[in-house]
Structure 1
Amino acid sequence: MYNEPKFFLYAVGIFTCYFFFGILQERITRGKYGEGESEEKFTYTLALVFFQCIINYLYAKIMLKFVFKQGEDTTRNVYYASSSMTYLLAMITSNMALQWVNYPTQVVGKSCKPIPVMVLGFLFGRKSYPIQKLMFVLIIVIGVAMFMFKDSEAAKSTEPAGLGMGELMLIISLTMDGLTGAVQERMKSEHQTRSGHMMSNMNLWSVGYLAVALLLTGEIVDFAEFVAKYPYVLWEMLVFSIASAFGQFFIFLMVTEYGPLPCSIVTTTRKFFTVLASVLFFGNSLLNRQWVGTILVFTGLTLDSIYGKSSVKKPE
């Protein structure tokens, strides 16, 4: 599977887009706006994700109309409604976590994404994973966690307060990721849902949910006041959302053609390679533990590419 040209293209697209996405995400959610005593932080998570989903939806519709002709969509609306809700909650809680923990800490938590994807895929998505598949993915997750451990420890010493809330947000986000993957498996197996239809409909439902939430919470008013004071944040949000739209399109292509689990493995190792690139380009040194993590990641990927191709199957 992993040696197919299309899979490689999708993976490179995900790696590149989400590299810029991660930088901008931390800049927006953890940056300071204003000067001196008037400094403020961006805390409008619903508004940020709302803006992101609108750009994602528009991008998907443009791709469906002018680039990819994917035919009629027969997927049931209940699947789109439920998967967009869990997908939305995963994004919101992941962004909210950055109010209490820094980006490397968030990366460590989200590196465990393949685990809930497999567990909930088995429980709700009618998937069966043999023990060797579980072991390969576990090796990758352990390797990523070991590689990132140094950075997460550094973050803890500077932000002891609120760390528990950040971890709770990440646990909720991981659970929602798993539920989203399980519903996507149903879409793929029952309706052969195509990437453009999945992306456009899930984001459209998400825009509807968020519009209601923004009105009920009153966050839309506070966000408008914040933008009036710092209008340049809209440019940052636009670039952030464009990176998200391109990256998400590659993700949906991979989900519809290869399934949620290979996609979660790619997004997990993408975080690993983002940090590894900083080591190579900026000359940062690695601890022995981090080199062990590097070897584990490559070992897990290699074993899964050789022995894991036919290991995932539907239960009888």
Structure 2
Amino acid sequence: MKHSNDKPISVKPIQGNNTLKLIICALGIFVCYFYYGLLQEKITRSKYGSDDEKFVYPMSLVLCQCIVNAILAQILLRTIMKQGKDTTRISYYSSSALTYFSAMVFSNMALQHVNYPTQVVGKSCKPVPVMILGVLFGRKRYPVAKYLFVMTIVIGVILFMYKDKPSSSTVADKPLLGWGEILLLLSLTMDGLTGAIQERMKSEHKTQSCHMMFNLNLWSIIFSLSAVLVTGEWLRFLNFIHKYPYVTYNIGLFSILSAIGQVFIYLTVADFGPLPCSIITTVRKFFTVIASVIIYGNIIIGRQWIGAAFVFIGLGLDSFYGKSAAKKK
């Protein structure tokens, strides 16, 4: 006989299914973005042909990437991830797409001046502009621990990017910030603005993942297509891939991995929260730096390894303990 106060027994297999799903998402993010990073370096830093030409078409590369992202998002919206009606304002999508597009272009342009490990470590400073813009424009307050973790990241980046003065007085001193570092700063600023706008989208309209992925990339296609047409980059890009057709395969695979990786990130954040996603992406960045050093022979001195350690320790601590909800002033 069943008593009225009997409670249903929780079913354990659900936890097992969630664990399996998290493992699949983690592997998806790691594999996709690990090879994405290696392909990005191969495309942008390789020398092509007997004349040692370089790939200098960052807006065209972003255009290819956004087209594949938008196509995949639309397929998911029409099949297995139907998310209902989207009420997000067009102005939010267009403005966030502009900063999102700009961040990717600046990041790709930076690779023409710095190696991939420098780009990865520099872009790991993303929490800094997000926090600053949150304080200045979102009127948020963060716990003291958050500031300490972000300061650890900043110290690590300074150690990594600091340029030693040449031993010979006949050699001109290099500036602390070269074009590569300036472009990374611009990319980080755009990342911070994108994050601030997306926070408003989520708080005001509860924007769903696939709707955001599709519309963000759709508007980015409009901006990048306009940019390559106005600057004439599209013609130079087509001539380049006609001259070196094998680069088309790398660009196609690069774009596909970007799109699939985005889906795994959205799934991880939606089902498990930002903490596991932050941990996975931090580990991925660390191993990508190591792979870049081994595969492409990028040289990193001892001080830079210490700086990289500071960065990834700061990111790890921020992922575990710095995600407390920011309070409004």
Q: Rate the CA distance shift 1:133–1:262 in 2: closer, same or farther, 3 A.
A: farther
Q: Which has the larger radius of gyration?
A: 2
Q: Rate the CA distance shift 1:71–1:39 in 2: closer, same or farther, 3 A.
A: same
**Greater helix percent: which structure?**
1
Q: Output the TM-score relative to the length of structure 1.
A: 0.80
Q: State the partner residue of 1:22.
A: 37
Would you say the 8 A contact 2:106–2:186 is kept in 1? yes
Would you say the 8 A contact 1:75–1:193 is kept in 2? yes
Would you say the 8 A contact 2:275–2:319 is kept in 1? no
Root-mean-square deviation (Å): 3.6
Would you say the 8 A contact 1:83–1:184 is kept in 2? yes
Would you say the 8 A contact 1:136–1:304 is kept in 2? no
Equivalent residue in structure 1 for 2:258, among 212, 231, 244: 244
Task: After TM superposition, give the deviation of residue 21 of structure 1 in Å.
Answer: 1.0
Please state whether the residue corresponding to 2:81 is helix, strand or coil: coil
Task: After TM superposition, give the deviation of residue 288 of structure 1 in Å.
Answer: 8.5
Q: Rate the CA distance shift 1:149–1:169 in 2: closer, same or farther, 3 A.
A: closer
Opposite residue 15 of structure 1, the aligned amino acid is F
Would you say the 8 A contact 2:29–2:281 is kept in 1? yes
Q: Rate the CA distance shift 1:85–1:260 in 2: closer, same or farther, 3 A.
A: farther
Opposite residue 301 of structure 1, the aligned amino acid is G
Encode CA deviations 1:35-58: one digit per residue, 9 max, x unaligned.
2xx331111111111011101111
Q: Rate the CA distance shift 1:92–1:190 in 2: closer, same or farther, 3 A.
A: same
Opposite residue 246 of structure 2, the aligned amino acid is Y
Opposite residue 79 of structure 2, the aligned amino acid is F
Q: What percent identity do the matched residue pairs reach?
A: 55
Task: After TM superposition, give the deviation of residue 16 of structure 1 in Å.
Answer: 2.4
Opposite residue 237 of structure 1, the aligned amino acid is I
Would you say the 8 A contact 1:145–1:293 is kept in 2? no
Determine the C-alpha separation between the residues in 2 that align with 1:162 and 1:149. 8
Residue 41 (1) aligns with residue 54 (2): yes
Encode CA deviations 1:129-179: one digit per residue, 9 max, x unaligned.
222222234335545775x569x87xxx9xx79971111111100100000
Equivalent residue in structure 2 for 1:63, among 53, 76, 79: 76
Would you say the 8 A contact 2:117–2:292 is kept in 1? no
Determine the C-alpha separation between the residues in 2 that align with 1:103 and 1:285. 11
Determine the C-alpha separation between the residues in 1 that align with 2:293 and 2:237. 37
Please state whether the residue corresponding to 2:186 is helix, strand or coil: helix
Q: State the partner residue of 1:104.
A: 117
User: What is the aligned residue count?
Assistant: 300
Determine the C-alpha separation between the residues in 2 that align with 1:50 and 1:74. 26
Determine the C-alpha separation between the residues in 2 that align with 1:42 and 1:57. 24
Q: Output the TM-score relative to the length of structure 2.
A: 0.77
Point out where structure 2 has 5 or more consecutive residues left out of the alignment: 1-17, 165-170
Equivalent residue in structure 1 for 2:208, among 186, 194, 214: 194
Opposite residue 67 of structure 2, the aligned amino acid is I
Would you say the 8 A contact 2:241–2:247 is kept in 1? yes
Encode CA deviations 1:77-120: one digit per residue, 9 max, x unaligned.
11110101000000000000111111122122112111011111
Residue 223 (1) aligns with residue 237 (2): yes
Would you say the 8 A contact 2:158–2:307 is kept in 1? no
Would you say the 8 A contact 2:209–2:266 is kept in 1? yes
